[in-house]
Amino acid sequence: MSLDSKLHLFDVDHTITRGSTGRRFAQAAARKGVLKLRYLAIIPFNYAAYRFGNGGVSFFEGDFPFIKGVERSLLEAIGREVFERKTSKALRPELIERIATIKADGGAVVLATSSLDFIVRPLADLIGAEAVLASVLEFDAGRCTGRLSGSALFGTAKRDAVLAFANSRGVSLSDCAFYSDSIHDLPLLLEVGEPIAVAPDRRLRREARSRGWPILDF
């Protein structure tokens, strides 16, 4: 087995998974009465703003009043159920195989996502990710305060979180690979030595072509 000391970083939504893990979670939470149905109505608008806008959207930046007071254990349980029933069936098998090869060669796999940590934790467990860098909710006495703990891992915030993690490992980002579908991940893609566009959105596809980056279409 060869020794691969670099970090292999993966975005989650629309990269490892087809579709949004957050949307699936919200739909399941609404069915269970944890999330009021009216909040589902804003998801298409937030998605459009994320996909076609120039920056973040309210889902990634603002408070989460719709789950204020909900117990952490319940949110985690819904996250596991959603993964088992929905998300696990929407994984890109080509990337799951690539991750298995990376790990077999001694590489370290890290998830770097703006999704909430408890939503993607089951995926991390499945693929044997060494770490999960994700957005994190704030809890008080086991109940959600309705706020994020720190910044959402989006755009430059994701880049900074990955940089801090890499520094803690004594690894340079120039020795790392990052797989992403989104132009919003450009700050991190520009920093790593091996940027890889996965089923990229229109703007990232154009950027990747102009820079000669690999493009994986499945």
So what's the pLDDT on residue 34?
Answer: 87
Which helix or strand (DSSP H or E) is residue 81 part of? helix 72-85
Dihedral sign of CA atoms 70, 82, 151, 175 in order: positive
If you count DSSP H runs as helices and E runs as strands, how many of each does the chain have, helices first?
Answer: 9, 8
| pLDDT tens digits along 147-157 | 999 889 999 99
So what's the pLDDT on residue 218?
Answer: 81
Q: pTM to 2 decimals? A: 0.89
| pLDDT tens digits along 54-105 | 544 444 455 778 888 999 999 999 999 999 999 999 999 999 999 999 999 9
Gap between the Cα atoms of 188 and 176, Å rounded? 10
- The full set of domains in the chain, from first to last, is 7-216 (3.40.50.1000)
Gap between the Cα atoms of 53 and 110, Å rounded? 27
